[in-house]
Amino acid sequence: MSSILRRCTKLTHSGILSMLPGSNGRSCALQYFASEKRYSTSSKIKVDLDSNTGVAIMQFQSPPVNSLSLDFLTEFAINIEKLELDRSCRGVIITSALPKVFSAGLDILEMYQKSPEHYVEFWKAVQEAWFKLYGSSKVTIAAINGNSPAGGCLLAMCCDYRIMAENPRYSIGLNETQLGIVAPFWFKDTMQNVVGHRETEKGLQLGKLYTAPEALKVGLVDELVPEEKVVSSAAEAMSKWLAIPDHARQLSKSMMRKPTIDRLLAAREADITNFVSFTSKDSIQKSLGMYMEMLKKRRS
Ligand SMILES: CC/C=C\C/C=C\C/C=C\CCC/C=C/C(=O)SCCNC(=O)CCNC(=O)[C@H](O)C(C)(C)COP(=O)(O)OP(=O)(O)OC[C@H]1O[C@@H](n2cnc3c(N)ncnc32)[C@H](O)[C@@H]1OP(=O)(O)O
């Protein structure tokens, strides 16, 4: 299944600014969309498109923590591409179907004790997911209903607008340095485009996970709302964004994002080579191993 999906992604690179026109709270929020039709039934991600509003809800449903594995990222890129090509879709809300977590970020097991060939394939999938989401011409809103470290934060930052549950126990940020690894330049660029240079420098060096209130203060998220209202608030925000004529908004989005996208396009291969050589280092493997152990101990 996943190899078929992967083959499909290789065929589709057109989404880049192509200018084509658990809890009770969660189920309650989803009832908001009365005329939803199941759009995709892939295993890790559920997508429902409301034919009346043109708004799709993409729900991550990959237990235990929606980590971004190779298969998850492949499904994600395909789903975003499908929506990109669908003229009846105007906006996408991204959220989690799991309690307490939006996404735990890149699946560390994909970067641990695997072959260089695997690292190449995995990193291509990470890049592809970013190109598709950051370059999407649709209005994209992240409804962040749980923790969102590292790659989870990246996905949220790729969206046009972020609404987070006001639970102070939830956090979001690029915490890579805490794992002994380094966020690549395009993760950094994406954050810088959201919160500016100084906050990004502090956030990256410290590997800071911002609590929800801290994230609001620095502009990493745009709104905090009660947890059970995250998706309905995202829908309300979406209607404001969709009130703007698509072509004007899309051109504005492209104007803002194209230089960042072009930067990775120009360095795509070098970025893969860097990732593989960095990840293959004994010292990095040791750090990742220790981090996984720490996660397990924290649990027991
Ligand atoms: C000079 C430099 C040049 C070049 C650089 C070039 C390249 C750069 C190189 C690398 C860049 C990589 C960029 C990396 C990005 C990332 O996203 S790394 C991932 C970071 N993620 C995290 O740190 C999150 C870790 N997880 C948590 O904090 C918590 O799990 C949670 C808060 C998300 C949820 O907490 P709980 O609900 O309490 O769940 P548990 O902690 O009990 O976890 C359940 C289960 O899941 C496993 N798990 C958690 N996160 C991950 C993950 N990211 N990947 C894989 N597995 C994960 C966890 O171990 C538990 O497993 P079990 O114990 O059940 O086996």
Q: What is the mean pLDDT of the chain?
A: 90
Closest Cα to atom 45 of ligand 1 = 64
Distance, CA 66 to ligand 1 centroid (Å)?
10
Closest Cα to atom 25 of ligand 1 = 104
Average pLDDT over residues 205-209: 98
**288 Cβ neighbours under 8 A, 6+ residues apart:** 108, 111, 112, 179, 180, 181
Average pLDDT over residues 190-216: 98
End-to-end CA distance of the chain: 34
pLDDT at 173 over 90: yes
User: What pLDDT does 18 receive?
Assistant: 36
Work out the angle at residue 111's Cα, subtended by the Cα atoms of residues 107 and 112, and round it to the nearest 5 degrees: 110
What is the SS3 assignment for 224? strand
Is the distance from CB of 89 to CB of 230 less than 8 angstroms? no
The two structure tokens encoding residue 39: 């759009």
* Ligand 1 atom index nearest CA of 105: 17
User: What pLDDT does 42 receive?
Assistant: 67
Distance, CA 36 to ligand 1 centroid (Å)?
32
Express each pLDDT in 267-279 by its tens digit.
999 999 999 999 9
Rounded percentage of the chain residues whose pLDDT exceeds 90: 84
pLDDT band at 52 (very low <50, low <70, confident <90, very high): very high
Q: Helix (H) and strand (E) counts for the chain? A: 12, 10
| CB of 105 closer than 6 angstroms to any ligand 1 atom | yes
Q: Is the ipTM of this complex over 0.95?
A: yes
Domains parsed from the chain with CATH numbers: 2-299 (3.90.226.10)
What is the rounded distance in angstroms from the CA atom of residue 282 to the CA atom of residue 180?
A: 12
